[in-house]
Amino acid sequence: MAKDWCIGIIGGSGLYNIEGIEDEQWLMIDTPWGDPSDEILCGRIGHVKVRFLPRHGRGHPISPSELNSRANIDALKRAGCTDILAISAVGSLREEIEPGRFAIVEQFIDNTRHRPSTFFTSGFVTHVSMADPVCPRLSQMAAKAITACKGKVATGATYLAMEGPQFSTRAESRMYQAWGADIIGMTGVPEAKLAREAELPYALIGMSTDYDCWREGEDAVDVAQVVAQMQENSQLARETVLKFIENLPKTRSASPIDTCLDNAVITAPDEHDPALMAKLDAVAGRLLG
């Protein structure tokens, strides 16, 4: 069934605002999972409703290991989002993904350790498929938008999600390469998993800032290097978001991800936990009637 777009934009490091939003207002949205990273900038760009959330908060006060990703995704769902385009600074594990190139994520390897990664705990056990963890429709449109803005783009990237906040050791960086990872970051997981559980199609643009520390004979990555490249990337990221929204079809056709919970719940109805069900009113409200 066709409906209107409402695009959630999750801004990564260096992207704390979006230009060109009309009727804009910052709104704090309460969630049963705690506070999201910041208020959500609500408005529209042309015919498209937009909801922008700076992942680390404006001014970057929140560590990647302390992000409340459940609250962030729940808040975006409550704000009416139909889809999410996420943007994140990443390190490169491949020579051909040089600093300044954007990478469209296709797969994730989760190497995080300390983060709540599901909405569905005991009392409403649910297993969503993450075999194909991003939305191909959004990913293709994101790649086209980068190209239209004269950016360099790599597609089909595998994102290694590490715990942080420290950068990798050289041994870890080389191990991640051997695992088949192309880029490395600290925030794409559990964000992508939670978006899937909330039936929100999700795409991630990784903005390469550095080569991590796997290259022989080079200094290790440091914050100054990352910030300098991040600032160069941020304008292209803003232009890409505007082009992405500008190029959206007038109406949004249905996605299989819209109903991915239909065959995912395993807990019998008479074993549902009422307290948990109340917390799931936004994430799984479609199923709860």
Residue 190 and residue 167 in contact, taking contact as beta carbons nearer than 8 Å: no
Compute the distance between CA of residue 128 and CA of residue 200 in angstroms, rounded to an integer: 12
Return the closest-CA partner of residue 120 out of 197, 190, 68: 197
Active site residue 212: yes
> Domains along the chain?
85-288 (3.40.50.1580)
Q: Quickly tell me which residue has 């807990």 as its tokens.
A: 267
φ, ψ of residue 242 to 5 degrees: the values are -65, -45
Of 212, 258, 270, 273, the active-site residue reads 212
Q: How many contiguous H segments (helices) and E segments (strands) does the chain have? A: 7, 9
What integer pLDDT is reported at residue 117 of this predicted model?
96
Q: Compute the distance between CA of residue 160 and CA of residue 176 in angstroms, rounded to an integer.
A: 7
Which residue pairs from 217-224 have beta carbons closer than 8 angstroms and sit at least 24 positions apart in sequence? 220/167, 220/170, 221/91, 221/167
pLDDT at position 193: 98
Question: Which tokens belong to 28?
Answer: 């704090």
> CA gyration radius for the chain?
18
Q: Is 74 a catalytic residue?
A: no
Per-residue pLDDT of the chain (289 residues; tens, 9 = 90+): 668 999 999 997 778 888 889 999 999 999 999 999 999 999 999 989 999 999 999 989 999 999 999 999 999 999 999 999 999 999 999 999 999 999 999 999 999 999 999 999 999 999 999 999 999 999 999 999 999 999 999 999 999 999 999 999 999 999 999 999 999 999 999 999 999 999 999 999 999 999 988 987 777 667 777 777 777 788 899 999 999 999 999 999 999 999 999 999 999 999 999 999 999 999 999 988 6
All residues at 6 or more sequence positions from 252 whose CB lies less than 8 Å from its CB, including other chains = 2, 3, 4, 5, 82, 83
Among the options 83, 182, 210, 258, which is catalytic? 210
